[in-house]
Amino acid sequence: MRHPRPSDVLLLCLLAAMWGASFPAVKIAVAHLPTAAMVALRLLVGTTMMVALAFALGRRPSLDSRTWAVYAGMALVGNLVPFLLIAHGQRQIDAGLGAILMATMPLATIVLAHLFTRDEKLSLRGVAGVLVGLSGVLALVGVDALRGLGADVLAQLSMAAAAMCYALHTILARRLQGSSPFTNAACVLALAAAMAVALMLAAEGPPPPVPFDAALAILFLGIFSNGIAYLIYFRLTGTVGAGFTAMTNYLVPVMGVLWSGLILGERPSVRAVAALALILAGVAVAHLRLGGRKA
């Protein structure tokens, strides 16, 4: 690993911008497509591009069974399941609100790192950060709403569950060593696409005709949010480390709110902005527990 360069910072910002823009893109796509079909189509687009690039550059996977097991886990918890949860959630709630709820992902990573790693245990500062962040989620969802568990609350909980999946994905990504970013991205996306197509055919059948605006959203999700973004993610984690790459967790929810306002005309409520501030404050407090190292 090396110290981050200005080019790495630019790539980090580009990564956050592409992942943030995925929230309004999903909102557009789910208005016209069933959930599993939307997920399968975006993954097929991303897989086609990444596999073609990998073969064009001579990147051939010659990997052991352990690495393929990690790939399968990343395909499941980093792509298929969270994409389904996000699509389900965004049928009910605004794209910007979904981005705010996704800010809980680094908090979940901190807790999971405590459970599944040996060198990143929670301190009192870390516990305080998690509690502050969770208070932001409760402020956003509302304790009274949790008692009734209405449709919007279930949609919001779907987004929070997707954040948990991404946290698991981060833990798994640390187990990859030595493979090129092209190989990692292509293999993970190919496995995720195969899972998504099988689920779509079993649950919904072939996809319906796709309107123009939904097709544009699917192409953006597949080419940028899945393909190029995943390639940048693996490049950054492989060269400057997971700690630096994890800083996208601070940027993605903010970019998601901004993109949702620009593309969909959404305006977050005062409570939503306050909740985002609390969640990010909790992440910052917990981040300091390791003297600047990121979970």
Judged by average pLDDT, the poorest of 90-94, 148-152, 215-219 is: 148-152
How does pLDDT run across 64-78, given as a tens digit for each residue?
A: 888 899 999 999 999
Q: What is the pLDDT of residue 127?
A: 65
Instruction: Please report, as a single letter, which amino acid is at residue 235.
Output: R
Cα separation, 101 vs 104, whole angstroms:
6
User: What proportion of the chain, given as a percentage, has pLDDT over 90?
Assistant: 36
Who wins on pLDDT, 12 or 146? 12
Three-state secondary structure call for residue 191: helix
- Dist CA 40 CA 98 (whole Å): 20
Q: Contact 286/121 with Cβ under 8 angstroms?
A: no
Entry pTM: 0.82
CA dihedral 244, 247, 248, 250 (to 10 degrees): 180
Is the pLDDT higher at 114 or at 143?
114
Phi and psi, residue 282, nearest 5°: -65, -40
